[in-house]
């Protein structure tokens, strides 16, 4: 009987430990990799570590932390500052500054009350870091808090700024976009409710317009003067828009969760062309990358597409069997970098003709 009692007790303990591990999601990825690059290295933040990868051959330069800690996970896109810092937010509610060259930790900002899902903006010697605690933190380059702006919703997107960094534009999950004074964090305006969460960053146009996609299946052009709506564009099938559009030569490019991809005239919201889901095979989460007249799109099916400016598919490459891509593609040293999940490769580099150059698989 005593034997059974212990067995029952041990059974409960085993189930409790297993379930808590699932609840904590410590080792289960809860987002996709954050990716940025300079002319030497690509920086990938994924799960328990941040990696610096040599662009020449895809070898690992450094990783942070050296040994994984299940309580410290990174998914936000890292941001490089001009003084050589790599700023990366963590799901442990801390914002980290690392030495981009060595991976050594410079400082930690510990005052947020929730995860850092969004990437930080570094501009005019300041770091603007939105956290999921509904605050936008402004820090100096030594990690000292300058001011805090509180919105009514979490922000999962990197803020954008104007040419002189006088004003910050912050999209939030409370269905609004905010304009905030970059000097002191006061609110300048708040857009009307846009009918759905604004998950992605706004695109900032040449004439100061802001373009944001929403979960309401609409792309809005907002005036940067007062946040009023200038025009709106509805997606086919009311597809929810995750990421912000990319603007190039007066054309807005973006995809939606129904798998459509659009080119829109930025001046009036007229559709120039669209690609249906049958051609792209999968949800489009990441913003497209536009280089000259070429557009690079990644889809959930784990495919990287190259289109020309008229929407013709020039080539496509699958990153791996069963892999998915939600991270936007990045360009560095004439390479197109993609960061898939659910495959061994954490980073894959293609040349602009679609040739696979190298892939990076982190060594355990």
Partner 1 sequence: MDIWSTLILNPMINSLIWIYSGLAQNFGLAIIVFTILVRLITYPLTASQIKSTKAMQEMQKSKKWQDMQKKYKGDREKLAQEQMKLYKEEGVSPFGSCLPTLIQFPVIIGLYQAIIRALAVTPIQLLELTRHIYPFYNAAALIPLNNYFLWLDLSLPEKDFSLIPSIAGFTIPILAILVVGTTFLQSRLMTPPTTTGDQGANMGRMMNLYMPLFMGYLAYSFPSGLALYFVTSNVVGILQYGIMGRLDWRNLIPERFSSESKTSTGSKTSK
Residues that bind partner 1 (CB under 8 A): 1, 4-5, 8-9, 12, 15-16, 19-20, 23-24, 29-32, 75, 91, 113, 115, 117, 132, 153-154, 156, 173, 175, 195-197, 199, 214-217, 238, 240, 242, 257, 283, 285, 326
CB of 61 to partner 1, least distance (A): 27
Nearer residue to partner 1 within complex by CB, 77 or 345: 77
User: What is the C-alpha separation between 232 and 288, in angstroms, rounded?
Assistant: 20
User: Would you say 306 or 324 has its CB closer to partner 1?
Assistant: 324
Kindly state the smallest distance separating residue 82's Cβ from partner 1, in Å.
Answer: 28
Beta carbon of residue 186, minimum distance to partner 1 (angstroms, whole number): 25
Shorter beta-carbon distance to partner 1: residue 28 or 184: 28
Which residues, 6+ apart, have CB-to-CB distance to 70 below 8 Å? 24, 26, 27, 48
Q: Shortest distance, CB of residue 220 to partner 1, whole angstroms?
A: 14
- Nearest CA among 160, 150, 290 for reference residue 212: 160
Q: How far is the CB of 293 from partner 1 (least distance, A)?
A: 31
Rounded to the nearest whole angstrom, what is the least distance from the CB of residue 146 to partner 1 in the complex? 26
Q: Concatenated DSSP letters for 139-198?
A: EETTS-EEEEEE-SS---S--EE-TTS-EEEEE-TTS-EEEEETTT--EEEEPPP-SS--
The CA distance from 162 to 249, in Å, is: 18
Chain centroid, CA 21 distance in Å: 26
- CA pair distance 348, 262, nearest whole angstrom: 26
**Whether the Cβ atoms of residue 313 and residue 300 lie closer than 8 Å to each other:** no
- Give 57 or 71: the residue with its C-beta nearer to partner 1: 71
Tokens, residue 48: 């328990």
> Quick one: DSSP state of residue 324?
B
Q: CB-wise, 29 or 314, nearer to partner 1?
A: 29
Q: Phi, psi (5° rounding) for residue 8?
A: -60, -45
Q: Between residues 8 and 229, which has the closer beta carbon with respect to partner 1? A: 8
To partner 1, the closest distance from the beta carbon of 333 in angstroms equals 28
Q: Of how many residues is the chain composed?
A: 364
CB of 250 to partner 1, least distance (A): 28
How many C-alpha atoms does 193 have within 13 Å on its Cβ side? 6
Q: Which is nearer to partner 1, 114 or 270 (CB)?
A: 114
Nearer to partner 1, 79 or 214 (CB): 214
């Amino acid at each position: 009987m005593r034997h059974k009692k212990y067995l029952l007790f041990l059974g409960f303990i085993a189930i409790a430990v297993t379930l808590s591990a699932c609840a904590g999601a410590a080792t289960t990825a809860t987002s996709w990799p954050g990716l940025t690059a300079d002319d030497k290295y690509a920086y990938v933040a994924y799960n328990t570590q941040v990696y610096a990868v040599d662009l020449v051959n895809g070898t690992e330069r450094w990783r942070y932390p050296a040994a994984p800690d299940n309580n410290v996970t990174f998914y936000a896109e890292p941001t490089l500052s001009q003084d050589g810092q790599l700023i990366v937010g963590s799901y442990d509610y801390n914002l980290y500054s690392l030495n981009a060259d060595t991976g050594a930790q410079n400082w930690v900002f510990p005052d947020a009350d929730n995860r850092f899902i969004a990437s930080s903006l570094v501009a005019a010697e300041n770091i603007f870091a939105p956290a999921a605690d509904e605050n936008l933190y402004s820090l100096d380059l030594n990690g000292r808090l300058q001011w805090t702006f509180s919105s009514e919703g979490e922000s999962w997107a990197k803020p954008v700024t104007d040419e002189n960094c006088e004003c910050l534009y912050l999209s939030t999950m409370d269905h609004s976009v905010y304009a905030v004074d970059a000097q002191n964090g006061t609110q300048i305006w708040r857009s009307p409710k846009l009918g759905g969460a604004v998950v992605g960053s706004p695109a900032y146009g040449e004439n100061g317009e802001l373009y944001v996609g929403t979960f309401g299946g609409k792309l809005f052009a907002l005036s940067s003067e007062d946040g009023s709506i200038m025009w709106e564009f509805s997606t086919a099938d009311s597809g929810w828009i995750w990421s912000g559009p990319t603007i190039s030569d007066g054309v807005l490019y973006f995809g939606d969760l129904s798998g459509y991809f659009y080119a829109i005239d930025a001046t009036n919201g007229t559709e120039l062309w669209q690609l249906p889901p049958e051609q792209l095979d999968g949800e489009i989460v990441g913003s497209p990358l536009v280089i000259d007249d070429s557009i690079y799109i990644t889809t959930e099916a784990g495919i990287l597409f190259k289109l020309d400016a008229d929407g013709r598919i020039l080539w496509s490459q699958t990153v791996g069997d069963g892999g998915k891509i939600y991270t936007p593609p990045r360009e560095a040293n004439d390479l197109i970098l993609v960061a898939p999940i659910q495959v061994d490769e954490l980073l894959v580099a293609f040349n602009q003709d679609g040739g696979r150059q190298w892939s990076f698989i982190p060594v355990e």
